[in-house]
Amino acid sequence: MMSAERGAAPATLAAYRADLTLCNDYLEGQGTDLLEASPADLSDWIVFLKSSGQASRTIARRITTLRRFFLFLLREGERTDNPASALESPTPSRQLPRFLSEEEVLHLLEAARRAVDDTPAAQRRAFLVTAAIELLYASGLRISELLALRRDSLRENAKMLVIRGKGGRERLIPLSSQARSASVALMKADEAKGSPFLFSGRNPKAPLTRQAFDHILHEVGLRAGISPSRLSPHVLRHSFATHMLAHGADLRTLQTLLGHADIATTQIYTHVQAERLRQVVESHHPLAQKGDMVRDSGVKEGE
């Protein structure tokens, strides 16, 4: 059902399968199983997860999995209730997304364009990582969307890309001239490989793996003076969104470009902007460091 009706991605299906298997294994150890579980059985499992130190976000996702699973059984007539409906999801802590400064992105692109030597392999790697960074930063693509891009999507001087995102949803995103030029350079370098993918792996019939790309990106990051702990494809996606918002983009446009189903997901970037404004005021306002700003304004703290 999740695959055929909801169009869930393979990673989502794998996560659901893992959650249900984990719960069933626990319940079998308690003398029951997933199909016969009572609300108390499921509640005990959640308590067990919390006592094991699992993250709130992980527990919340597993509760969502259970709710959808038992709702499916209810609709199919396999059960007469949903024992997971009363489970309370923990509120996950909302961390501000990490992002690079605009200057750091420029340094990263400069490092990407410089091949480490004159060998064809090094030249090809420079073309690959330059095209990838240009697309990730200029379009806000997810890494899965980037690596799934096919060569024919850039034919006929295309100025827009059709991206198939989460849940099979399609969206149009503009293709910058720099990103297109870098992609064309990569396609020319890979022409002899005959791969259908823009970012092909060692096997031309398959795209580059996420792990292989992470390794290449971290190498370039080190050459640009950026720690691997601060750099990932998702950090570049966050950088795109943060910088777009800083330069005047509205949230609805950003939601469309990022492929978010719910604008609440996009709104986290407004918190990033608010945090940056707070830091600027605290760093530069003459009264901020003395703690007199709030008192002298006549406004009570918290208002």
Kindly report the backbone phi and psi dihedral angles of residue 207, in degrees, each rounded to the nearest multiple of 5, phi listed first: -75, 165
Residue 258: other Cβ atoms inside 10 A:
22
169 and 201 part of one domain: yes
Asked if residue 5 is part of any domain, the answer here is no
Residue 275's pLDDT band, with cuts at 50, 70 and 90, is low
CA atoms of 19 and 25, how far apart (whole Å): 10
Between 21-25, 196-200, 268-272, 296-300, the lowest mean confidence (pLDDT) is in: 296-300
Residues 173 and 291 in one domain: no
Q: Are residues 107 and 227 in the same domain?
A: yes
Average pLDDT, the chain: 88
CATH code, domain with 197? 1.10.443.10
CA separation for the pair 244, 277 (Å, rounded): 16
The partner residues of 207 in beta bridges, in order of sequence, read: 200
Q: Is residue 96 part of a domain?
A: no
Catalytic residues: 142, 166, 234, 237, 260, 269
Task: Give CA torsion, residues 6, 11, 12, 18, to 10 deg.
Answer: 130
* Number of structural domains the chain divides into: 3
C-alpha to C-alpha distance for 107 and 225, rounded to whole angstroms:
8
State the pLDDT confidence band at 93, using cuts at 50, 70 and 90.
low
DSSP state of 164: E
**Is the per-residue pLDDT at 36 higher than 90?**
yes
> Quick one: the chain helix, strand, coil %, rounded to 5?
60, 5, 35
Residue among 80, 75, 68, 1 at smallest CA distance from 38? 80
What pLDDT, on a 0 to 100 scale, did the predictor assign at position 302?
A: 39
Rounded to two decimals, what is the model's pTM?
A: 0.68
**278-295 per-position pLDDT tens digit:** 776 777 777 765 555 444
Residue 56 included in any domain: yes
Domain that holds residue 126: 102-258
Same domain flag for 222 and 131: yes
**Domain shared by 148 and 175, yes or no:** yes
Alpha helices (H) in 118-227, listed in sequence order: 120-139, 143-147, 177-189, 210-223
User: Does residue 3 fall inside a structural domain?
Assistant: no
Beta bridge partner(s), residue 163: 171
User: Closest Cα to residue 199, out of 127, 262, 266, 139?
Assistant: 127
Ranges of beta strands (E only) in 139-275 are 160-164, 170-174
Do 109 and 247 fall into the same domain? yes
- Write the pLDDT tens digit of every residue in 99-136: 999 999 999 999 999 998 889 999 999 999 999 999 99
